Chain A
């Protein structure tokens, strides 16, 4: 084949690819601006942004200020953009940067899905329909625009999936390198990536071992497993070691008082009131979520598996291994009572369904219009189904906070309170390091402040000392949350019982419903 025909063939898909990226970019940007404009950016997005912010603009700027409770990549990636706050203060003060970046990540993710469908040799119409089934799924759209780490996580998972797919179908060892690197980055984004970090080298080793003919196949399988697995294992080990050195905990998300485990245990009553606290109840809840956002995934999975077996096409292993292992990890964590069971923990179902459908279309022969239509419908049904699920506050406990009117009013109200606290404290013209506040609860206030140096906060290296002896550290005021269980400043002074917090301090701030949110007391 001459280069000319190659170019001629490539060009339409390239134009199509750019069009897909452009369209998604515009839609997601609009969604991001909507989240920002309505001030319903989730608190987790704001807190990840704040973690990045501390490393550059806190009173004690240092890289370790990014914190060890949450995996660092979603915050680290924001670092180069933070200085732009000089031009556009809303980027940090109103958390605008978080949704802008998640929109960019999700656009790239759609690009990868589209490219993967092209590599599966799908023709234009099914390729575009399936790309749209992913890109326009309400969960995808929400998490593109709300600044959460889901977009970043999905991007790296899909990059891993694409590379693994490439390796499974072409078997060039070079493809294992991007697979290994991408899964390491996925771990940088979210600890759930532990599952694919393990699953990737295991599957690679198995495939190499099964397809090798001679006695060296074990040795070859070992090398391939190391190539695919080393970066991920390194990411896990390094993050653990850095965490151990700096905060003396190997896996802070599981052991820290601010970490996931602590949050789950302190919120366990709340969680089980919705999800049930026995295995049966949880299983039922979890299945409802699953069926809600991917109602016919199992049908697609069975169909794809049969076709993969019949055509001896191992490509299907890529999405099943990578996306499936994340699902399995989250399912296991939830069913054993170690997770909140948020709906977003099931988000990998969406690309998984689309890629399974892609695989079915690529391998079902002869593929008549009817078969194609059935497959596409199976995949596309997830869109209306997800839309319905998101409006169910029981199943979509977080998401309903910004897609329902009452929820978004609550969220934007908290946003306003934080901004008001920041403005009032700024107006007091305090010297640097005069206010003691726990970053785990006061991130919104610190981000919104014009004088972030006023605060002595958790990542500062003198924070523990300041909590035990505020006056000795020139602290003038303590900023206390009303009832957050993880507020070290409040519990350090008044113990774990929220009722003992004074309701009359130097100042207090309440939300629009009259609930006390913040109390400022003299040190």
Chain B
């Protein structure tokens, strides 16, 4: 099945257009109405906005706590022991395709080969497809020089728009021969038994489960404060929030790599949306809409945590933009979404997928408001914040922030990294970075929706000496 055919299946949910015509009209009419009422009763409009924002914000925090609580009650990750993973005879293992999209990353190819060769999986059942772009001759050359083994091949993605990671993955998927397929980024260090664990787990869980998300962690956690925050965030995400979604029977937005699929179902579903900049999260929602289930696999893939401030902002703003896109895409036909996902799915879509970037954006506004109040105490604010919502707002400000810091301290303990205590207590500074990224994301969503902020990798590597060269 060629990539175009696969992609055609998701036309209705593609982020090619961010807002459908109906959504545009709705937005326009809504804004016009709001402006109209604002002229007549400006205070009322402000009060209603503050009330709605406060309630949504409070709901998003409550949702987060509910997820952590649900995750803490019982085991919601799939655990396959080393013995069980190794117990399957080679002959009974299916062909497994590993897609590795890469762009302008010649320096990490060498490491990639080492990490892939560490995978405990029979070579005759393994198919690794390195997906490279035609204009990226450096990486292509580096890959050609380093490539060893029959099971590895390079696929240069034909030039076509959009030139994105999901696009490349779709091209790879079209040629995949495996019964199962997964994606690793070029700098990833997967648990060597991960493929075997995924096979055993998916066979045990049965056909309802078409995807397993492995846990992502970082190999450079201790590089600086940003990487420590990032590692803490990931630990919360993969050990509390995603298992919480599983526990509550909600859709699971997938993470960028190490998601293991049944190939046939993935193709039927239309695979990745090449226009969505978080195609992984979107795919998680679409899996749920099709009635499939996603599990969280207890097996870690180590990635490179973004250690540079600017680079971090770029990456995070892309994620946030993607989450917002995904949210809008799946609200195109709310009734269908509700029918397919039920109220639980709708809660997740609004409070988690839409809620994560919006909360990050609102944080900045709300903190600024709080600061303004303490500095100037403008009388108009007393009018805008009417009592019940004012109290909810204060509650969110105080207990919301405290709760999230507290959850981070808990993550420190469950990661068994007590040295990260200070990092957890300093999380508010990390949230400020998130706010910045979300503002950039919102701006881009409007003006450059499909623009893919490429994350630079290899920042953990020592700077090469000028005379040395990566590629001979």
Chain B associates with chain A: yes
A177 touches B421 (CB 8 A): no
Contacting residue for A231 out of B391, B406, B414, B418, CB 8 A: B406
A223 touches B418 (CB 8 A): yes
Q: A226 on the interface (CB 8 Å rule)?
A: yes
Shortest Cβ distance from residue A97 to the other chain B in the assembled complex, whole angstroms: 21
A173 touches B418 (CB 8 A): no
Which residue of chain B has its CB nearest to the CB of A223? B418
Q: Which A residues lie within 8 Å of B410 (CB)? A: 173, 177, 227
A63 touches B391 (CB 8 A): yes
Q: A224 on the interface (CB 8 Å rule)?
A: yes
* Cα-based distance from A173 to B72 in the complex (angstroms): 11
* Cα-based distance from A220 to B419 in the complex (angstroms): 8
B72 touches A219 (CB 8 A): no
Given A174-B72, A227-B409, decide whether A219 and B421 contact each other with a Cβ distance below 8 A.
yes
Contacting residue for A226 out of B72, B387, B391, B421, CB 8 A: B421
Q: How large is the interface on A (under 10, 10 to 19, 20 to 34, 35 or more residues)?
A: 10 to 19
Q: Which A residues lie within 8 Å of B387 (CB)? A: 62-63
B409 touches A223 (CB 8 A): yes
B409 touches A220 (CB 8 A): no
Q: A328 on the interface (CB 8 Å rule)?
A: no
Shortest Cβ distance from residue A15 to the other chain B in the assembled complex, whole angstroms: 24
B421 touches A222 (CB 8 A): yes
Q: A373 on the interface (CB 8 Å rule)?
A: no
* Cα-based distance from A216 to B420 in the complex (angstroms): 12
Given A226-B409, A234-B402, A238-B398, decide whether A173 and B419 contact each other with a Cβ distance below 8 A.
no
Given A63-B387, A174-B72, A231-B406, decide whether A219 and B419 contact each other with a Cβ distance below 8 A.
yes
Q: A129 on the interface (CB 8 Å rule)?
A: no
Which residue of chain A has its CB nearest to the CB of B420? A223
Q: Which B residues lie within 8 Å of A63 (CB)? A: 387, 391
A222 touches B409 (CB 8 A): no
Q: Which B residues lie within 8 Å of A177 (CB)? A: 410
Secondary structure at the A interface, as helix, strand, loop or mixed, is helix
Which residue of chain A has its CB nearest to the CB of B387? A62
For chain B residues 411-453, which have a beta carbon within 8 Å of chain A?
412-414, 418-419, 421, 425
Q: Which B residues lie within 8 Å of A234 (CB)? A: 402
* Cα-based distance from A231 to B391 in the complex (angstroms): 20
* Cα-based distance from A177 to B73 in the complex (angstroms): 13
* Cα-based distance from A227 to B410 in the complex (angstroms): 7
Contacting residue for A223 out of B398, B402, B421, CB 8 A: B421
Q: Which A residues lie within 8 Å of B425 (CB)? A: 226
* Cα-based distance from A216 to B391 in the complex (angstroms): 42
B406 touches A230 (CB 8 A): yes
B414 touches A219 (CB 8 A): no
Contacting residue for B413 out of A223, A230, A231, CB 8 A: A223
For chain B residues 202-252, which have a beta carbon within 8 Å of chain A?
none
For chain A residues 234-250, which have a beta carbon within 8 Å of chain B?
234, 238
Q: Which B residues lie within 8 Å of A224 (CB)? A: 413
* Cα-based distance from A227 to B421 in the complex (angstroms): 10
Q: Which A residues lie within 8 Å of B418 (CB)? A: 216, 219-220, 222-223
Q: Which A residues lie within 8 Å of B406 (CB)? A: 227, 230-231
Interface centre among B413, B414, B425 (most CB of A within 10 A): B413
* Cα-based distance from A226 to B422 in the complex (angstroms): 11
* Cα-based distance from A177 to B403 in the complex (angstroms): 11
Q: Which A residues lie within 8 Å of B414 (CB)? A: 173
Shortest Cβ distance from residue A513 to the other chain B in the assembled complex, whole angstroms: 44
Shortest Cβ distance from residue B468 to the other chain A in the assembled complex, whole angstroms: 38
Which residue of chain B has its CB nearest to the CB of A221? B418
Q: Which B residues lie within 8 Å of A226 (CB)? A: 409, 421, 425
Interface string of A206-228 (1 = CB under 8 A from B): 00000000001001101110110
Which residue of chain A has its CB nearest to the CB of B422? A222
For chain A residues 188-218, which have a beta carbon within 8 Å of chain B?
216
Q: Which A residues lie within 8 Å of B413 (CB)? A: 173, 223-224, 227
Q: Which B residues lie within 8 Å of A216 (CB)? A: 418-419
Q: Which A residues lie within 8 Å of B409 (CB)? A: 223, 226-227, 230
Q: Which B residues lie within 8 Å of A222 (CB)? A: 418, 421
Shortest Cβ distance from residue B157 to the other chain A in the assembled complex, whole angstroms: 47
* Cα-based distance from A248 to B398 in the complex (angstroms): 19
Q: Which B residues lie within 8 Å of A238 (CB)? A: 398
* Cα-based distance from A219 to B387 in the complex (angstroms): 43
Shortest Cβ distance from residue A370 to the other chain B in the assembled complex, whole angstroms: 43
Shortest Cβ distance from residue A490 to the other chain B in the assembled complex, whole angstroms: 32
Shortest Cβ distance from residue B424 to the other chain A in the assembled complex, whole angstroms: 8
* Cα-based distance from A174 to B239 in the complex (angstroms): 14
* Cα-based distance from A226 to B413 in the complex (angstroms): 10
Shortest Cβ distance from residue A11 to the other chain B in the assembled complex, whole angstroms: 21
Shortest Cβ distance from residue B421 to the other chain A in the assembled complex, whole angstroms: 5
Shortest Cβ distance from residue A397 to the other chain B in the assembled complex, whole angstroms: 39
Which residue of chain A has its CB nearest to the CB of B388? A63
Q: Which A residues lie within 8 Å of B421 (CB)? A: 219, 222-223, 226
* Cα-based distance from A227 to B398 in the complex (angstroms): 17
* Cα-based distance from A238 to B395 in the complex (angstroms): 11
* Cα-based distance from A224 to B412 in the complex (angstroms): 10
Which residue of chain B has its CB nearest to the CB of A63? B391
Interface string of B390-402 (1 = CB under 8 A from A): 0100000010001
* Cα-based distance from A222 to B72 in the complex (angstroms): 22
* Cα-based distance from A234 to B414 in the complex (angstroms): 22
* Cα-based distance from A63 to B410 in the complex (angstroms): 32
Shortest Cβ distance from residue B376 to the other chain A in the assembled complex, whole angstroms: 15
Interface centre among A63, A222, A226 (most CB of B within 10 A): A226
Q: Which A residues lie within 8 Å of B402 (CB)? A: 230-231, 234
Q: Which A residues lie within 8 Å of B412 (CB)? A: 223
Q: Which B residues lie within 8 Å of A227 (CB)? A: 406, 409-410, 413
* Cα-based distance from A220 to B421 in the complex (angstroms): 9
* Cα-based distance from A219 to B419 in the complex (angstroms): 6
For chain A residues 245-291, which have a beta carbon within 8 Å of chain B?
none
* Cα-based distance from A351 to B406 in the complex (angstroms): 30
Shortest Cβ distance from residue B79 to the other chain A in the assembled complex, whole angstroms: 17
* Cα-based distance from A222 to B412 in the complex (angstroms): 11
Shortest Cβ distance from residue A214 to the other chain B in the assembled complex, whole angstroms: 11
Interface centre among A173, A220, A224, A238 (most CB of B within 10 A): A220
Which residue of chain B has its CB nearest to the CB of A241? B398
Shortest Cβ distance from residue A210 to the other chain B in the assembled complex, whole angstroms: 16
For chain B residues 360-410, which have a beta carbon within 8 Å of chain A?
387, 391, 398, 402, 405-406, 409-410
Which residue of chain B has its CB nearest to the CB of A245? B374
For chain B residues 303-356, which have a beta carbon within 8 Å of chain A?
none
Q: Which A residues lie within 8 Å of B391 (CB)? A: 63
* Cα-based distance from A174 to B414 in the complex (angstroms): 9
* Cα-based distance from A177 to B405 in the complex (angstroms): 13
* Cα-based distance from A173 to B425 in the complex (angstroms): 18
Q: Which B residues lie within 8 Å of A231 (CB)? A: 402, 406
* Cα-based distance from A231 to B410 in the complex (angstroms): 13
* Cα-based distance from A376 to B414 in the complex (angstroms): 41
Shortest Cβ distance from residue B340 to the other chain A in the assembled complex, whole angstroms: 33
Shortest Cβ distance from residue B197 to the other chain A in the assembled complex, whole angstroms: 26
Shortest Cβ distance from residue B66 to the other chain A in the assembled complex, whole angstroms: 14
Shortest Cβ distance from residue B170 to the other chain A in the assembled complex, whole angstroms: 42
Shortest Cβ distance from residue B150 to the other chain A in the assembled complex, whole angstroms: 46
Shortest Cβ distance from residue A287 to the other chain B in the assembled complex, whole angstroms: 41
Which residue of chain B has its CB nearest to the CB of A218? B418
Which residue of chain B has its CB nearest to the CB of A222? B421
* Cα-based distance from A312 to B364 in the complex (angstroms): 52
7 chain-A/chain-B pairs, Cβ below 8 angstroms: A173-B410, A173-B413, A216-B419, A219-B418, A223-B413, A227-B413, A234-B402
Known: A173-B414, A227-B413. 19 other contacts (CB 8 A): A63-B387, A63-B391, A173-B413, A174-B72, A177-B410, A216-B418, A219-B419, A219-B421, A220-B418, A222-B418, A222-B421, A223-B409, A226-B421, A227-B410, A230-B405, A230-B406, A231-B402, A231-B406, A234-B402
> Which 8 pairs from chain A and chain B are nearest by CB?
A219-B418, A223-B418, A220-B418, A173-B413, A223-B421, A223-B413, A226-B409, A234-B402
B contact residues vs A (CB 8 Å cutoff): 72, 387, 391, 398, 402, 405-406, 409-410, 412-414, 418-419, 421, 425
